[in-house]
Amino acid sequence: MTDKKYLYPLKFDTIFKEKIWGGTKIKDILGKDFSPLNNCGETWEISGVEGNLSKVSEGPLKGMTLPEITSIFKEELVGKKVYQQFGTDFPLLIKFIDAAADLSIQVHPNDKLAKERHNSLGKSEMWYVFQADQGAKLISGFNRKTSKEEYLEYLNSSKLMELLNEESVVAGDTFYLPAGRVHTIGKGLLLAEIQQSSDVTYRIYDFDRIDSEGNKRELHTDEAIDALDYNSYSDYKIKVQKSLNEVVPLVKSQYFETNLLEFTTGIIREHYDTDSFVIYTCVEGEAEITTLGHTTKISMGNAVLVPQKFPEVHIRTKTGFKMLETYLP
């Protein structure tokens, strides 16, 4: 059994995903080599999803998977409350997404529906845009309250886009997408995605695309009907009062909380009241994360998992950095 003294801030091998809509920004902007794939639509940076288990990339625990480490260190890694609720199933999934083309119009089920149909968690998620081509857009929610009947009428007559809320996007924009919200990431966007640990997606419309073998991708029209939230909301884009060298709250949900840290100097983060691991996802610059003598470097395109055992986190930088700080409430 691994000695517990070797628990430290953890980095993981990136899992690369080729997608029909993927591009080259993962390599061109984030500097991550996804060869031999033709493109890379997603990187999974921290994942406990079965079949896509993250492996530690450095240090004494190198090569071990997230569930293996959790089974050894339990609440010292994830926190007592988190371990009691999820056991060795890691509750979050951290991704970077490069959309060279529009993703499909889609929706994710909530916890109840996902449990019944797939024995899975639901999928509420957030997006932080850190690069956007000029004119880039995305879809989040309906542009007015609708109904199941009206939605199906618009879908079946190829007019669904008329019902959807389209947002123009620039770097720094942030969106929270609770399960049930219709959405898509538009072409020209590179973003960080923080979500519940689930890979359940209902594809509603795929712009009649065909893959390399001439086939259209499967749609999940019937499954989506019960999963959709047909209401309309005024707060699709999170209003962020950006503030340098201060901790700025972005998302506060029942599934995770995320803050934006944009600092030109170092900072000490104290999480003594947080019964959870903390994940730092770097979207600009670079820094060193130190806990009780263990130092880990982080730079744009990396994520680091700080175990709950280390409630005091020292972050030092020479260049400045911008990071997302995420933990369970």
Question: Average of pLDDT values for 83-97?
Answer: 97
Say whether both 120 and 24 belong to one domain.
yes
Query: What pLDDT does 1 receive?
Result: 43
Residue range of the domain that includes 292: 247-327
Distance, in Å, from the CA atom of 279 to the CA atom of 301, rounded to the nearest integer, reads 13
Average the pLDDT over each of 157-166, 169-178, 238-247 and give the range with the smallest value. Answer: 238-247
Say whether both 88 and 195 belong to one domain.
yes
Reference 49, options 90, 97, 109, 110; nearest CA is 90
Q: Per-residue pLDDT tens for 169-205? A: 999 999 999 999 999 999 999 999 999 999 999 999 9
Question: Average of pLDDT values for 213-235?
Answer: 92
In this structure, is residue 237 part of a structural domain? no
Say whether both 44 and 157 belong to one domain.
yes
Residue 270: exposure state from Cβ atoms within 10 A (0-12, 13-18, ≥19): exposed
Q: What sections of the chain are H helices per DSSP?
A: 25-28, 66-73, 75-78, 80-86, 111-118, 148-156, 221-227
Say whether both 167 and 311 belong to one domain.
no
Say whether both 61 and 151 belong to one domain.
yes
Helix (H) or strand (E) holding 15: strand 15-17
In this structure, is residue 233 part of a structural domain? no
Number of domains in the chain: 2
Let me know: does 143 contact 164? Beta carbons within 8 Å: yes
- As beta bridge partners, residue 218 has none
Say whether both 181 and 269 belong to one domain.
no
Q: Per-residue pLDDT tens for 257-279? A: 999 999 998 999 999 999 999 99
Q: How many CB atoms lie within 10 A of CB 154?
A: 16
Say whether both 148 and 221 belong to one domain.
yes
Question: Average of pLDDT values for 239-256?
Answer: 92
Q: Is 209 one of the catalytic residues?
A: no
Q: Is the CA virtual torsion 198, 259, 41, 142 positive or negative? A: positive
In this structure, is residue 182 part of a structural domain? yes
Q: Catalytic one among 203, 209, 217, 269?
A: 203
